[in-house]
C-alpha cells in the first residue's frame, strides 16, 4: 500500500502551512449567535503553540488523556491541535451527554484534565469528581489564561503516537475508545482531499460536530492538507444553511441523510442556487427520489460514501467524474482496499453479501486499537484487515454497496434479512416519520421481525395499513411479524435510534408472555 504521509505529524502539517500559507485564512468558526472567529494559518499555528505551552505548564504531558467537552467552537480546534503538540490525547465529548455518559468515557479513558464551557462545568465536576480545580479549563474564564505564557517547545512526537480517543456511539454495546494516531489523521485528510480534488482556493464548510471524526475527516483535515479554508458552524439550522454556504463562499460541504431531507423540505427560494458548492459529501443513504431531487433543485453533486471511526472515517466515496455508482457507496479511496468476507471466512464472490473488511496498518491507515481492550482489538484487527461488523457487497466494476450493520442482520427461516432495507420501505410511506426494525427470537423461524413505526404529526396509522403497504414492496419473508406504533423511538445522545433499548423492551415482552 502506498504511504501518502510518511513520518509527518499534525504538528508538522501546521508548521508547513504556517511557513507556506501563513497569511491565508485557515478557518472561520461561527457560533449560534452569528459571532465569528477567523484565524490565518500563522495565527492558528502560533496560538496552538501558546496553548500547548499552557497545557504543559498545567502538568499535561505526553500520553495524557484530556476530555474536551465542547461543541463546534474555536477552543475545540485549538485544544485538539495544542494537545497534539504536547503529545497528549484528546478525548472529544458530546455536550449533550448525560453526567453518567460523561463519567463512563472520562473514567474509561483515564483523563487527567478537561476543557469545557461554563454551562457544562457542573456536569464535568459531577462526572469526574477526582479532577482538581486547576485541571478543569473553562472557556471564557480559566481557559484564556493558558494562552498567556510562552510557546511550547517540549516533547518529541511521532507519527504513530495516539492523538485522540474517539468513543464509539454504543448503540449496541458499551462504547469503546478508538485510538487514532497522527498518521491516521494525516492519511484521512490526504485521502479525502485527493478524492475531492481540493485546492488552496476551496472552502470546506460543515455543521457536523467536530467531536466526531466525520467533521474532522471530511472538513478540517482535508482543508489543512492542501492549505484551503474550513468553516465550522456551531449547529445545523435547515432554514439558514444555504445562506451560510453562500456567505462563506463554500465549495464543499458535508451532510447526513437527515440534513438532506430537511433541506428538501425548506420552501423553494433563490438561495437554492445562490452558492458555489460543487460537492456534498454524505455517508448515510437517502432515498433515490430524494437523491435526484436534491441534485436537481440545489445543483450540488451528492457523493455517497462509507466510513467508520476505526478507519478514521472515510473508506469509500463516489467518484467525482464518470459513473458515480449510485446507489453504491462508491469506490475505495486512495490507499484503501476493501474485501468482502463470507460466513465461511473466505472472500465473497462478486455480488455476494458478506462482512466489509478494510486492509490497513494499525496506527497508520486504520485505528491503533481499542483502548485497554485487547479482546475487542483482536476481534476487529485480524491478519492486516479491519473487520467492520458491517455487511455489503462489491459489484463487477468494483463499486462497494453498503447493506447493513452486521448486528442488524435478521436471520429468518434461513434467509438473511436486512433491517435497513425494511426501514427504507417503511420510510417511503407518506405518513411515517421514523422507523426501526429489529429481530426477536422465534421458536420456528429463527427470528421474527418487529417494526417500530412513528407517525408524522397529524397522521393516524394502523398496523394493518403498514403491513399492506409493505406487502407490495417486500418479499413475504421480509414482512414484519409485528408492527408497533410508539409515539417516539429511544435515541442515543447524538440522535441515533437506540435499537439496544428496543431489543430489551421486546425481550421483556417475550418473558412476560411466558416464553
Looking at residue 284, its pLDDT comes to: 64
Looking at residue 175, its pLDDT comes to: 84
Looking at residue 96, its pLDDT comes to: 85
Contact between residue 264 and residue 289 where contact means Cβ atoms under 8 Å apart:
no
Lowest mean pLDDT segment, chosen from 284-288, 354-358, 411-415: 411-415
Give the residue-averaged pLDDT of 342-366.
96
| Alpha-carbon gap, residue 192 to 334, rounded angstroms | 8
pLDDT in tens, 290-328: 999 999 999 999 999 999 999 998 999 999 998 889 999
pLDDT in tens, 95-122: 988 888 899 999 999 999 999 999 999 9
pLDDT in tens, 425-460: 999 999 999 999 999 988 667 789 999 999 999 999
Same domain, 344 and 265: yes
Looking at residue 236, its pLDDT comes to: 94
Tell me whether residue 399 is in a domain.
no
Question: Bridge-partner residues for 442, per DSSP?
Answer: 446
Same domain, 353 and 460: no
C-alpha distances in Å from residue 350, one per residue of 177, 213, 409: 34, 31, 20
Tell me whether residue 293 is in a domain.
yes
- What single DSSP character describes residue 407? G
**CATH at residue 428:** 3.30.300.30
Give the residue-averaged pLDDT of 200-204.
99
Give the model's confidence band at 169: pLDDT under 50 very low, under 70 low, under 90 confident, else very high. Answer: low
Tell me whether residue 405 is in a domain.
no
Looking at residue 210, its pLDDT comes to: 97
Report which of 455, 515, 447 is spatially closest to residue 484, judged by C-alpha positions.
Answer: 455
Give the model's confidence band at 496: pLDDT under 50 very low, under 70 low, under 90 confident, else very high. Answer: confident
C-alpha cell at 13: 502539517
Phi first, then psi: what are they for 52, rounded to 5°? Answer: -60, -40
Same domain, 382 and 422: no
Looking at residue 261, its pLDDT comes to: 85
Same domain, 382 and 431: no
Same domain, 353 and 239: yes
Same domain, 417 and 467: yes
The last residue of a domain, from among 394, 421, 442: 394
Its pTM stands at 0.84
Tell me whether residue 3 is in a domain.
no
The distance from CA 393 to its chain's CA centroid, rounded to whole angstroms, is 22
Tell me whether residue 406 is in a domain.
no
The last residue of a domain, from among 394, 426, 458: 394
Tell me whether residue 347 is in a domain.
yes
User: How many domains would you assign to the chain?
Assistant: 2
Same domain, 38 and 101: yes
Looking at residue 513, its pLDDT comes to: 67
CB under 8 Å to 95, separation ≥6 — which residues?
Answer: 69, 70, 71, 117, 120
Residue with cell 464509539: 168
Contact between residue 467 and residue 440 where contact means Cβ atoms under 8 Å apart:
no
Same domain, 238 and 324: yes
Give the residue-averaged pLDDT of 181-207.
97
| Alpha-carbon gap, residue 445 to 414, rounded angstroms | 8
Same domain, 103 and 250: yes
Sign of CA dihedral 441, 443, 446, 449: negative
| Alpha-carbon gap, residue 59 to 76, rounded angstroms | 19
Give the model's confidence band at 510: pLDDT under 50 very low, under 70 low, under 90 confident, else very high. Answer: confident
Give the residue-averaged pLDDT of 25-34.
97
Same domain, 348 and 438: no
Range of the domain at 439: 413-512
**CATH at residue 135:** 3.40.50.12780
Sign of CA dihedral 49, 52, 56, 62: negative
Give the model's confidence band at 514: pLDDT under 50 very low, under 70 low, under 90 confident, else very high. Answer: low
Residue with cell 445562506: 243
Tell me whether residue 247 is in a domain.
yes
Looking at residue 88, its pLDDT comes to: 98
The last residue of a domain, from among 362, 394, 426: 394
Give the model's confidence band at 192: pLDDT under 50 very low, under 70 low, under 90 confident, else very high. Answer: very high
Mean pLDDT of the chain: 93
Same domain, 322 and 450: no
pLDDT of 377 strictly over 60:
yes
| Alpha-carbon gap, residue 438 to 480, rounded angstroms | 9
Instruction: Please name the helix (run of DSSP H) or strand (run of DSSP E) that holds residue 452, with its range, or none.
Output: strand 446-455
Looking at residue 267, its pLDDT comes to: 97
pLDDT of 128 strictly over 60:
yes
Same domain, 195 and 336: yes
Contact between residue 46 and residue 26 where contact means Cβ atoms under 8 Å apart:
no
Tell me whether residue 402 is in a domain.
no
Give the residue-averaged pLDDT of 379-398.
96
Give the model's confidence band at 1: pLDDT under 50 very low, under 70 low, under 90 confident, else very high. Answer: low
Amino acid at each position: 500500500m502506498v504511504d501518502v504521509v510518511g513520518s509527518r505529524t499534525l504538528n508538522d502539517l501546521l508548521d508547513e502551512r504556517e511557513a507556506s500559507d501563513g497569511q491565508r485564512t485557515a478557518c472561520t468558526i461561527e457560533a449560534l449567535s452569528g459571532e465569528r472567529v477567523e484565524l490565518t494559518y500563522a495565527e492558528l499555528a502560533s496560538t496552538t503553540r501558546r496553548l500547548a505551552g499552557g497545557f504543559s505548564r498545567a502538568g499535561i504531558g505526553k500520553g495524557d488523556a484530556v476530555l474536551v467537552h465542547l461543541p463546534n467552537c474555536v477552543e475545540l480546534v485549538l485544544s485538539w491541535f495544542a494537545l497534539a503538540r504536547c503529545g497528549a490525547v484528546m478525548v472529544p465529548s458530546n455536550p449533550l451527554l448525560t453526567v453518567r455518559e460523561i463519567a463512563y468515557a472520562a473514567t474509561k479513558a483515564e483523563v487527567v484534565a478537561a476543557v469545557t464551557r461554563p454551562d457544562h462545568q457542573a456536569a464535568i465536576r459531577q462526572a469526574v469528581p477526582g479532577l482538581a480545580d486547576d485541571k478543569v479549563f473553562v472557556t471564557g474564564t480559566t481557559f484564556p489564561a493558558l494562552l498567556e505564557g510562552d510557546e511550547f517547545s517540549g516533547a518529541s512526537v511521532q507519527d504513530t503516537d495516539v492523538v485522540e480517543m474517539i468513543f464509539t456511539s454504543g448503540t449496541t454495546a458499551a462504547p469503546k475508545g478508538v485510538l487514532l494516531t497522527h498518521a491516521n489523521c494525516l492519511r484521512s485528510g490526504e485521502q479525502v482531499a485527493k478524492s475531492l480534488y481540493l485546492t488552496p482556493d476551496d472552502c470546506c464548510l460543515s455543521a457536523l460536530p467536530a467531536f466526531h471524526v466525520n467533521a474532522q475527516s471530511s472538513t478540517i483535515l482535508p482543508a489543512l492538507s492542501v492549505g484551503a479554508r474550513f468553516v465550522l458552524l456551531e449547529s445545523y439550522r435547515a432554514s439558514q444553511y444555504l445562506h451560510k454556504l453562500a456567505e462563506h463562499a463554500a465549495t464543499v460541504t458535508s451532510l447526513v441523510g437527515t440534513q438532506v431531507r430537511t433541506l428538501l423540505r425548506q420552501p423553494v427560494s433563490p438561495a437554492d442556487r445562490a452558492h458555489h458548492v460543487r460537492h456534498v459529501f454524505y455517508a448515510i443513504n437517502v432515498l433515490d427520489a430524494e437523491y435526484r431531487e436534491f441534485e436537481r433543485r440545489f445543483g450540488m453533486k451528492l457523493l455517497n460514501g462509507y466510513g467508520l471511526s476505526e478507519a478514521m472515517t472515510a473508506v469509500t466515496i463516489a467518484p467525482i467524474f464518470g459513473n458515480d455508482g449510485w446507489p453504491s457507496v462508491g469506490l475505495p479511496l486512495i490507499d484503501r482496499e476493501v474485501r468482502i468476507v463470507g460466513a465461511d471466512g473466505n472472500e465473497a464472490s462478486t455480488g455476494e453479501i458478506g462482512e466489509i473488511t478494510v486492509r490497513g496498518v494499525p496506527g497508520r491507515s486504520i485505528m491503533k486499537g481499542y483502548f485497554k481492550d485487547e479482546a475487542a482489538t483482536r476481534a476487529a484487527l485480524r491478519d492486516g484487515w479491519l473487520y467492520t461488523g458491517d455487511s455489503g457487497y462489491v459489484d463487477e466494476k468494483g463499486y462497494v454497496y453498503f447493506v447493513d450493520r452486521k448486528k442488524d442482520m435478521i436471520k429468518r427461516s434461513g434467509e438473511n434479512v436486512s433491517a435497513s432495507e425494511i426501514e427504507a420501505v417503511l420510510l417511503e410511506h407518506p405518513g411515517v416519520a421514523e422507523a426501526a426494525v429489529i429481530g426477536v427470537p422465534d421458536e420456528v423461524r429463527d427470528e421474527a421481525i418487529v417494526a417500530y413505526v412513528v407517525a408524522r404529526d397529524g397522521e393516524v396509522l394502523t398496523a394493518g395499513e403498514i403491513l399492506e403497504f409493505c406487502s407490495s414492496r417486500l418479499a413475504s419473508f421480509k414482512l414484519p411479524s409485528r408492527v408497533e406504533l410508539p409515539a417516539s423511538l429511544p435515541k442515543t445522545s447524538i440522535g441515533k435510534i437506540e435499537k439496544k433499548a428496543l431489543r430489551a423492551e421486546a425481550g421483556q415482552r417475550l418473558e412476560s408472555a411466558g416464553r
